[in-house]
Structure 1
Amino acid sequence: MENIKPKNVEEEIITLIRDYLCNLPDGKVYKDSIYNIENKIKNKKQHTDAPIEEHIEGMIMAMLTAERPWKYIDNSEMKDKINKAFKDYDAEALINADPEILEQDIRDIKAGNRRISQQTKALKHNIKNLQTYEEENESIDKLYMNIGSSYKVAKFIDKNFKEIGIPLACEYLANMGYDIPKPDSHLRRLFGSKRLGYSKKEKATIKEVFDIIDDFSAKLSTGENPMYRKSIDYLLWLYCAKGYGEVCGENADCEKCVIKDFCNKGKEKAE
């Protein structure tokens, strides 16, 4: 079959990265993960209201990604241990749990991070918020959908929850099936002035990451075949993250980079 030439720079960047990742030893795992992400988004569009237990799980799993490589936690065996430590996400059980015991249980299975003490203490506040949202709006998802754009929902969570800034709010929402990117350090650096140059700042702002991913999605989508923002985000994150692609992380490996023709750092090294 004849290869179709990408229509624009954004499509070429994503095509090159996707092909590179799919040819790695873990390429099938990455493809399956993207398939699962897209199915979760499609399912969310059809079944919008999730029970509070799923929201608690999505929130906690997002919190555990803070300030640590995700590779160690990203497997079914570890997730089963996390589920047990957090009492299968039963709201009342977690509200009444001793935060110090929760913290120790998570440390014992080596799923903690630098903020785990503060995070377990924040759970009671956050879960009570979720209970209130569910009681006052029929479901938590109805509230989020009434707020507006995914960026506005992330800002709402940042304002009203403890130990969850906008990047972790995005991770939580993505865990729930919302089509939302996570503007973490990898994407902010990648879109910054010293890499792909979509921002004039060395690190793109959080809002810029949302806008850039929106633009990618618009340029890569066709009427019947949307390119989800989370899929784009995930591919770019995989390309950068430790334990995964490890190409364009903090210490970029420009020698094996497949998008260096579009990158200011790659051009500097070439000169």
Structure 2
Amino acid sequence: MRAYIENISKIVEQMDIQLRTNLLIKDGQIQEKKLWENTYIKHQKDRRDRKEGFSISDHIRGMVYAMLSSGIAWERVENSIDILTGKIETIDEIFHQYNPQILLECSPEELSDKVKHLHCASQSTKKQMNGLIHTNIEKLMQLEKEYDSIDGFYQRFIDKDSSYKTLIKTLSDSDSVNKMVEMGEALNAEYLRNVGYDMAKPDRHIRRILGSNVLACSEHEIVPLFQTFDIVKDIADELGKSVAEVDYILWSYCSKGYGEVCTVINPKCSICVARQICRKHVEK
């Protein structure tokens, strides 16, 4: 398995090069906002590496960004992204810069309608806004009150399990008192990445490209949620990169408006740097 991870790591490195030198070029220019180093997640990881504190507003922003990543093409928000911070300025305005007291007075329906007006809403947005306003913000406020900071509470789980899996479970499991409403494992991982924690997001792109039909890092066609964390970390360790960066490279290689190479429909196998080992391509 070690040798195989080494091989996959080289392919991920080639994906990154291809993205930067070809796939993310438009009208002769690199699309700077789509580079890893300019993403919101990278900026937040840098903050956590510098041991900066994260406020409740930071956590609410991270949760909102995670919710909006569900079910829409991320390129829809591109024009609103501040390249210096990675923040989505139009969304930040709608959510009152994530002031919890102001948000608790807001109508979830009104927030949902404003997000929809920006073409950033999915079928889940209305339910997500209800969960955010009626439950999740109050939970975050309670954690901050009881543990001095939200991260102080999260650190209790990280100290026992540095893979973040236990923390993800306590925020996601339906029978957990710490369950965040309308937030499953993938969205909670994205939320935590948005406040600087270095992990993968086990979404449909990552779980498929690592699965048995493509890069074959697992015996499963769609990699199980928590196995995804382990595989991406192994690749990151081999490359000497952060887990979140490796996740971003793989995600970009699949995603609409980014690399769009390893897609479910009409994949561009002829230019894919993984075509020599891709099970789906080899079996054609």
- Give the structure-2-normalised TM-score: 0.85
CA RMSD of aligned residues (A): 1.9
Deviation at 1:28, TM superposition (A): 5.4
- Please list, as runs of the form range in 1=range in 2, the aligned pairs for 1:61-140 lying within 5 A after superposition: 61-76=65-80, 79-124=88-133, 125-140=135-150
Whether the 8 Å contact between 2:8 and 2:215 is mirrored in structure 1 is no
Distance 2:34 2:74 in 1: 17
Distance in 1, matches of 2:106 and 2:34, equals: 38
Q: Once the 2 structures are TM-superposed, how far is the Cα of residue 109 of structure 1 from its aligned partner?
A: 2.0
- Aligned equivalent of 2:53, options 49, 52, 68: 49
Structure 2 residues without counterparts, runs of 5 or longer: 83-87, 174-178
Alignment-derived partner of residue 37 in structure 2:
34
| 1:142 pairs with one of 152, 171, 174 | 152
Asked whether the equivalents of residues 191 and 198 of structure 1 are also in contact (C-alpha less than 8 Å), the reply is yes
- Give the share of equivalent positions with the same residue, in percent: 31
Higher mean alpha-carbon deviation, 77-86 vs 244-253, is at: 77-86
Shift of 1:174: 1.0
- Structure 1 residue ranges without an equivalent (≥5): 1-6, 222-226
Counterpart contact for 1:49–1:140, Cα < 8 Å: no
CA gap of 1:40–1:82, structure 2 versus 1, over 3 A, is closer
Find the counterpart in structure 1 of residue 190 from structure 2.
Answer: 171
* Amino acid in the other structure paired with 2:275: K
Equivalent in the alignment of 1:224 = none
Tell me what 2:250 maps to. Answer: 236
Measure, in 1, the Cα distance between the counterparts of 2:281 and 2:156: 43
1:22 aligns with 2:20: yes
CA offsets 1:97-151 (integer angstroms, 9 cap, x no match) = 1111111121122221111110111112000010011111111111112212322
Q: Counterpart in 1 of 2:171?
A: 157
| Structure 1 partner of 2:229 | 210
Q: Residue 131 of structure 2 aligns to which amino acid in structure 1?
A: A
3-state SS of paired residue (2:74)? coil
